Amino acid sequence: MIENIHILIAQAATANPSDLFQKAFDLLERGGPVMWPILACSLMGVTVAFERLFAFWNYNTANMYFKKRTLKLLEQIKEGQFNEALESSSKLQSPVSCIITEALQNSDTGFCETLQSASQRELNKLKRGFSVLDTVITVAPMLGILGTVTGIIGTFNALNTSAMGNPTAATAGIGEALITTATGLVVAIICIFPFNYLTSQLTRCATELEQIMHKFEVAYNSGRMSTKLKE
């Protein structure tokens, strides 16, 4: 048994890429027409997953640099040095610094309100594409079930046409049913792992962003009080 597994692995490693593509195309053809929407779902899911992983990586990398400058920016705001804080935050290229910059620019009309709206906008940017992954996870198995139904219908039609004289005619429909079901489940399983990971990352980013915004709200209120006392 182990020797057979090693032989299969060796054959897969030495297989010609063109042969692999041909086998994949043959599998799509045997799966019937439902395989094409399942393939489209898999391409959409994988594309969105990689794009969102890269977006979160950029977000975390940019904010990691911003965290090192947070203390200085907080001190400037606490001291009421809003112009200096605006100049400092505008030089930092990160999502959080953009939120602080926008809030400082609109400090006269509503600093805290701007913080909340800008924070929600950044979270919505991170959440973009989640609905696509969720839809793929839901639709792919349903398409697999649809392929199962069409495959069974094809099997019965083949049996009725051949009047049981040619049982091998039913194997195509059974193969279609099994292939579409398995493919739909595989696509959903592949997409559910990055979806859950991205959801946990979004929750973590929302918590961190809420804590940072609270610190800046407190610092801004302190800066306003110190400015009034100086006047």
> Are 18 and 112 in a shared domain?
no
| Domain boundaries, position 72 | 34-230
Does residue 16 register a pLDDT over 70? no
> Are 71 and 83 in a shared domain?
yes
Kindly list the distances between the CA atom of residue 188 and the CA atoms of 28, 37, 170, in Å, as whole numbers in the listed order. Answer: 17, 13, 28
Confidence of residue 194 (pLDDT cuts 50, 70, 90): very high
* Of the listed ranges 38-47, 78-87, 130-139, the one predicted with least confidence: 78-87
Domain count, the chain: 2
Confidence of residue 12 (pLDDT cuts 50, 70, 90): very low
2-11, 16-25, 58-67, 134-143 — which one is most confidently predicted on average? 134-143
Q: How far apart are the first and last CA of the chain?
A: 86
> Are 12 and 38 in a shared domain?
no
Tokens matching residue 14 = 């030495």
> Are 142 and 161 in a shared domain?
yes
DSSP 1: -
* Of the listed ranges 21-30, 112-121, 198-207, the one predicted with least confidence: 21-30
> Are 17 and 122 in a shared domain?
no
> Are 91 and 26 in a shared domain?
no
> Are 144 and 89 in a shared domain?
yes
> Are 175 and 127 in a shared domain?
yes
> Are 1 and 24 in a shared domain?
yes
Does residue 4 register a pLDDT over 50? no
